[in-house]
Chain A
Amino acid sequence: MSEESDLSRRKFLEKATMGIGGALTVLFGIPAAIFVVKPVLKKEEGSGWMRLGSISKVTPGTPTLFSLKVERETGWITDQDEIMVYVYTEDGRDYAVMSNICTHLACRVRWIEERQEFFCPCHNGVYDKQGNVLAGPPPRPLDRYEFKVENEDIYIKVG
């Protein structure tokens, strides 16, 4: 066997090792990425219209807290999630139905009666009765739910 063919044999084996190694890496890597990422892309199904409670509980001038239990499928577990909603009205005709999730980084806000403000304890976000930002880092007002009033009951759309 000449020097030259010896060298090409070596080159061939080197290329083959690299090629097979690379192919195996891809063969494992792609399914691994799909396995890890694809399940998280699944959209959560909304529950649609859900009854929040009687509209008569809302005191005009004060945000009133309602809570709602929602069933959520997470993986192999069916979980009960509690949604907290503030309903505010000034005149009993126009309502603001607000999420209690702070728009800054999703901590929960609460209504402080003495100060007449919503307050988020995580980073001192402050909102007024209507959910407008008064102070602190929140980038936008509290999120509103789509809602409807039927037979003196208030319903929200849970998506």
Chain B
Amino acid sequence: MATRFSNWLDARTGWRNIWDGIFLRKVPKVNWLYTLGSASLFIVVNQVVTGILLTIYYVPTPDHAYDSVQYITTQVALGWLIRGLHHWGASAMVVVVFLHMLRVIFLGSYKFPREVTWFSGVVLFLVVIGFGFTGYLLPWDEKAYWATTVGTQIAGTPPLIGDLALRILRGGEGLTAMTLARFFGIHIWVLPAILLGLVGLHVYLVIKHGISTTPKRGENNHE
């Protein structure tokens, strides 16, 4: 029955080719540092799932944001767990993605033909920082408020464009309901859209090229 169904589906979608392409790749003998990319992907899934769940109770306005976060943490069943996973996942994401990048640099995996994988990874890293920056404001507590005051103020320091940058970030001159609303919009719509697109490209390229081998002692590129 299951085989018949998967044959039926394969005849219409060709999913087996895709499946095999993803999972039956040749993998060179590498070390555990090469799992940091998969670890990042796993944290992405964690952040997406818990983030979607949090939006069910969270309300991004100054009069409700703090209370709704308190409600999630103290009243909703397992709210502490879902919020905790999102909170700690965010920190873990920055750490793991950074280590992933270091691995790629030190083992030379960014070289031909994987430059585009590297470029998309660099943008992904910036997107992760953006997630951290915008997500930090959402609990709307003292720490969030003042951290974002300082962060957006820094954006206001460059000459000529500084004032405009600060206004665009804050949605006006001060840190207000406008700021909270646009940070929320950026955090749950803009950045996820960019992230998912780039993750798709990034993973596609990893599958296309296969993962790089570890550099061997004594080898050099001129040979």
A: residues with CB less than 8 A from B are 17, 28, 31-32, 34-36, 38-39, 75-77
Contact A36 B53 (CB under 8 A): yes
- With contact pairs A31-B82, A75-B57, A76-B64 given, residues A38 and B77 touching in the complex (Cβ less than 8 Å): yes
B78 within 8 Å of A (CB atoms): yes
Residues of B within 8 A of A38 (CB): 76-78
8 intermolecular pairs with C-beta atoms under 8 Å apart: A31-B82, A32-B82, A35-B53, A36-B56, A39-B75, A39-B76, A75-B68, A75-B75
Main secondary structure of the interface of B (DSSP, over half): helix
Contact A75 B77 (CB under 8 A): no
5 smallest A-B Cβ distances: which pairs?
A38-B77, A76-B67, A76-B71, A31-B78, A35-B78
Main secondary structure of the interface of A (DSSP, over half): helix
Contact of B70 among A34, A36, A76 (CB under 8 A): A76
Contact B77 A39 (CB under 8 A): yes
Which chain B residues (71-87) contact chain A, with CB distance < 8 Å? 71, 75-79, 81-82
Contact B49 A32 (CB under 8 A): yes
In Å, the complex CA distance between A32 and B76 comes to 11
In Å, the complex CA distance between A39 and B72 comes to 10
In Å, the complex CA distance between A75 and B75 comes to 8
Q: Tally inter-chain residue pairs, CB-CB below 8 A.
A: 40
Contact A28 B49 (CB under 8 A): yes
In Å, the complex CA distance between A33 and B56 comes to 12
Residues of B within 8 A of A36 (CB): 53, 56
Can you name the residue of chain B whose Cβ is closest to the Cβ of A36?
Answer: B56
Contact of A31 among B23, B57, B64, B81 (CB under 8 A): B81
Residues of B within 8 A of A75 (CB): 57, 68, 71, 75
Residues of A within 8 A of B71 (CB): 75-76
Contact of B79 among A17, A28, A35, A77 (CB under 8 A): A35
Residues of A within 8 A of B81 (CB): 31, 35
Question: Nearest chain A CB to B194's CB is how many angstroms away?
Answer: 24
Question: Nearest chain A CB to B201's CB is how many angstroms away?
Answer: 23
Contact B77 A35 (CB under 8 A): yes
Question: Nearest chain A CB to B125's CB is how many angstroms away?
Answer: 25
Residues of B within 8 A of A17 (CB): 23
Can you name the residue of chain A whose Cβ is closest to the Cβ of B74?
Answer: A76
Residues of A within 8 A of B77 (CB): 34-35, 38-39
Can you name the residue of chain A whose Cβ is closest to the Cβ of B69?
Answer: A76
In Å, the complex CA distance between A91 and B170 comes to 67
Residue among B57, B67, B77, B82 facing the most chain A CB atoms (10 A cut-off):
B77
- With contact pairs A39-B75, A39-B76 given, residues A32 and B53 touching in the complex (Cβ less than 8 Å): yes
Mask of B39-55 contacts with A, CB within 8 angstroms, 1/0: 00000001001000100
In Å, the complex CA distance between A75 and B68 comes to 8
Question: Nearest chain B CB to A59's CB is how many angstroms away?
Answer: 43
Contact A76 B68 (CB under 8 A): yes
